[in-house]
Chains A and B, each alone.
Chain A
Amino acid sequence: MLKRTPLFEKHVQLGAKMVPFGGWEMPVSYPAGIIAEHLAVRSSAGLFDIGHMGLIQIRNTKYEIRNNDGALELIQRLATNNASKLEINQCQYSVLCNENGGVIDDILVYRFADHYMIIANASNADRVLSHLKASAGGIDVSRWQDRCALSIQGPQAVGTVEKVLSVSLSTLKRNHVLVSNGMIFSRTGYTGEDGIELVVEKAAAPKIWDLFINANVQPCGLGARDTLRLEAGLPLYGHEYDEETTPLEAGYGWAVKFDKGEFLGKQALEKEKAEGLRKRLVGVELDGREIPRQGYEIFDVQGAKLGVVTSGTFSPSLKKPIALAYLTPHPPYTSPIFISIRGEKRPGKIVDKAFYKRVK
């Protein structure tokens, strides 16, 4: 049985195509279509239901312990980034690894005045919860049952949220949070644009959704969320990340802080760093219009296999096929490379993973 977010009825009313994703029944697109939704986010703003994401609270059960030292220590032992650097109302990208350095999930870690919060991917949320609980000791780790998240993304997103929810966000920095009127405003996103991720009471979510729809913000489904994150070169669990892949290989070495003390997977990651990466994530652009899809193989000029595509699409902004791919660790990678599409080797070139960069 697929789970539904509090906004399910809103999606159906708007004519969305609903699909299963990570155990949830979610909108893949609305009648405007993926390309129009994508371009709305690039040019103005788009509204996403991200109520499928797992919101996990971590707090000390002993009220007298100040500063959540125990909760922080738990996060420090399991996540790769250094959560002790977080100020109150700040968040950071981090990774949960197994002892081999393989990725259990990539997450956002939030610090609030009296607790921490982790946002996990929908398909991994149960796994992350039990993983944290297994090491929790006396720390309280639990789903935030009565909350869900929405996301407003695009160059006009912040101004739209300010207007629609009567809040001032202009001084809110990237990866910082404002708590106001029982809502969490987080200046984060997964589209390559400026934007706000909102954590609200589930009961209030449909009304808040309607406020944005009535302000003519384009609703966007998982299809546009995928093309937007892919253009920005952002990894998606199940494609660029799995338990056989390390954050170093995905290009997220900056989120692995070896100098912060012990954490799960540290030894394996240090070893890989010293011995060299087993594979490396790159961006690929194709000349034609055929789209490289997950699993398609990549070859060099001599016909030797270089690697495999993990995500591919037609880029609505660049109007050409793009892909992320893991290549074997033997640079230099010289273009052209060749991607096998339905038995034909199509030429392409290796490019920066951030296919699209926003103009700041």
Chain B
Amino acid sequence: MSYPEGLKYSKEHEWVKVDGKVATIGITSHAQDALGDIVYVEMPPVGKELAAMQEFGVVESVKSVSSLFCPVSGKVAERNAALEKRPELVNSSPYENGWIIKVEMSDPADLNKLLSAADYQKTLPPVSKH
């Protein structure tokens, strides 16, 4: 499992990639592995205003359903239409083709509350070897 440098992470297992005012958001390698085979991603409509850490959708795996939280406040600028037909991209490519939404940030200070790759990994349970 990988946690690219340069991304920001939430304790709720979302990642954020910042490009100017636009934040791309997805779920981490750890999250997709814990969920297992993902079969549906519910995304908000473009234009919807989101507060920081507001629930913005769900991701359904075969076994369970989990809420998605938006780490930054702003307006939904784009959603990953590819996930409508191929939700499994979140499993196979969590940081690239499996991104979920793009948000036009209203308060870049939200980013200060997020974790670096190293600090995020410290929040994860140790890899169990039994």
On A, residues with C-beta under 8 Å from B are 8, 12, 17-18, 28-29, 33-35, 223, 226-227, 289-291, 293, 313-314, 316, 342
Smallest Cβ-Cβ distance to B129: which chain A residue: A12
Minimum CB–CB distance from A347 to chain B (whole Å) comes to 16
Smallest Cβ-Cβ distance to A291: which chain B residue: B60
Contact between B36 and A33 (Cβ–Cβ < 8 Å)? Answer: yes
With A33-B36, A314-B39: A223-B130 Cβ-Cβ less than 8 Å: no
Smallest Cβ-Cβ distance to B55: which chain A residue: A342
Q: Which residues of B contact A28 (CB under 8 A)?
A: 36, 63
Q: How many inter-chain contacts with C-beta < 8 Å in the A-B complex?
A: 43
With A35-B62, A314-B62, A342-B58: A291-B130 Cβ-Cβ less than 8 Å: no
- One of A8, A33, A226, A290 near B37 (C-beta < 8 A): A33
Contact between A289 and B40 (Cβ–Cβ < 8 Å)? Answer: yes
Minimum CB–CB distance from A34 to chain B (whole Å) comes to 5
B118 proximal to A (CB < 8 A): no
**In the bound complex, what is the Cα–Cα distance between A225 and B36 (angstroms)?**
15
With A28-B63, A291-B65, A342-B58: A35-B37 Cβ-Cβ less than 8 Å: yes
Contact between A34 and B36 (Cβ–Cβ < 8 Å)? Answer: yes
Contact between B58 and A316 (Cβ–Cβ < 8 Å)? Answer: no
With A223-B62, A291-B65: A34-B130 Cβ-Cβ less than 8 Å: no
Smallest Cβ-Cβ distance to B84: which chain A residue: A289
**In the bound complex, what is the Cα–Cα distance between A33 and B61 (angstroms)?**
11
What is the total number of residues of chain B having a CB less than 8 Å from a CB of chain A?
15
Smallest Cβ-Cβ distance to A28: which chain B residue: B63
B78 proximal to A (CB < 8 A): no
Q: Which residues of B contact A313 (CB under 8 A)?
A: 62-63
Contact between A290 and B36 (Cβ–Cβ < 8 Å)? Answer: no
On B, residues with C-beta under 8 Å from A are 36-37, 39-40, 42, 58, 60, 62-63, 65, 87, 91, 128-130
Smallest Cβ-Cβ distance to A289: which chain B residue: B40
Contact between A291 and B40 (Cβ–Cβ < 8 Å)? Answer: yes
With A34-B62, A342-B58: A291-B39 Cβ-Cβ less than 8 Å: yes
A to B CB contacts below 8 Å, 30 in the list: A8-B130, A12-B129, A18-B128, A18-B130, A28-B36, A28-B63, A29-B36, A33-B36, A33-B37, A34-B36, A34-B62, A34-B63, A35-B37, A35-B62, A223-B63, A226-B63, A289-B39, A289-B40, A290-B40, A290-B42, A290-B60, A291-B40, A291-B60, A291-B65, A293-B65, A313-B62, A314-B39, A314-B62, A316-B62, A342-B58
Given contacts A33-B37, A34-B37, 13 further A-B contacts (CB under 8 A): A8-B130, A17-B36, A18-B130, A28-B63, A29-B36, A290-B60, A291-B39, A291-B40, A291-B65, A313-B62, A314-B39, A314-B62, A342-B58
**In the bound complex, what is the Cα–Cα distance between A348 and B11 (angstroms)?**
36
**In the bound complex, what is the Cα–Cα distance between A313 and B65 (angstroms)?**
10
Q: Which residues of A contact B40 (CB under 8 A)?
A: 289-291, 314
**In the bound complex, what is the Cα–Cα distance between A342 and B36 (angstroms)?**
21
**In the bound complex, what is the Cα–Cα distance between A311 and B10 (angstroms)?**
32
Q: Which residues of B contact A342 (CB under 8 A)?
A: 58
**In the bound complex, what is the Cα–Cα distance between A223 and B62 (angstroms)?**
8
Smallest Cβ-Cβ distance to B87: which chain A residue: A289
Minimum CB–CB distance from A2 to chain B (whole Å) comes to 12
Minimum CB–CB distance from B72 to chain A (whole Å) comes to 23
**In the bound complex, what is the Cα–Cα distance between A223 and B37 (angstroms)?**
10
Q: Which residues of A contact B39 (CB under 8 A)?
A: 289, 291, 314
Contact between B36 and A314 (Cβ–Cβ < 8 Å)? Answer: no
